């Protein structure tokens, strides 16, 4: 109950148009991690191949997918996806799931959690 109230109070001070701060930090960390990746553009401009060491990952910006699977599972572009997004000249935050928006966060914390009595009562 306390955690819910604390998060709700924090969210009230955030700008409704952005993504919540933890996700912004995560995206920055992923952008730093992807600097060593090499990107190759396919003839279909929304598909990319990203080389990360010896591994190759296929990215579809249209479908918001990477063969590593992290993007599909989390809704947050993986480092391979971020590198492809940056190569396309787009903003990585525009490829986040809408669930990470401040508006959705506020909706999730909108309803109160009512106190419950001690188990002895």
Q: How many structural domains is the chain composed of?
A: 1
* 46-96 pLDDT per residue, tens: 899 999 989 999 999 999 999 999 999 999 999 999 999 999 999 998 999
Question: Does 65 fall in a domain?
Answer: yes
Question: Does 48 fall in a domain?
Answer: yes
Task: Write out the H or E segment, with its range, that includes residue 58.
Answer: strand 55-60
Question: Does 93 fall in a domain?
Answer: yes
**N- to C-terminal Cα separation, the chain:** 19
Q: What is the span of the domain harbouring residue 47?
A: 20-100
Question: Does 10 fall in a domain?
Answer: no
Whether residue 30 contacts residue 77, with contact meaning beta carbons closer than 8 Å, is answered with yes
Question: Does 96 fall in a domain?
Answer: yes
Question: Does 11 fall in a domain?
Answer: no
**pLDDT number for residue 34:** 83
The separation between CA 73 and the C-alpha centre of its own chain, rounded to angstroms, equals: 10
Whether residue 27 contacts residue 82, with contact meaning beta carbons closer than 8 Å, is answered with yes
Rounded to two decimals, the pTM is 0.80
């Amino acid at each position: 109950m306390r955690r819910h109230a604390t998060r709700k109070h924090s969210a009230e001070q955030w700008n409704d148009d952005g993504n919540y701060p933890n996700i912004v930090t995560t995206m920055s960390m992923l952008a730093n991690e992807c600097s060593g990746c090499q990107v190759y553009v396919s003839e279909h401009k929304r598909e990319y191949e990203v080389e990360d060491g010896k591994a190759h990952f296929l990215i579809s910006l249209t479908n918001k997918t990477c063969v590593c699977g992290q993007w599909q599972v989390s809704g947050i572009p993986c480092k391979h996806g971020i590198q492809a997004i940056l190569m396309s000249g787009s903003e990585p935050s525009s490829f986040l799931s809408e669930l990470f928006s401040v508006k959705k966060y506020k909706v999730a914390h909108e309803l109160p959690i009512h106190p419950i009595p001690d188990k002895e009562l």
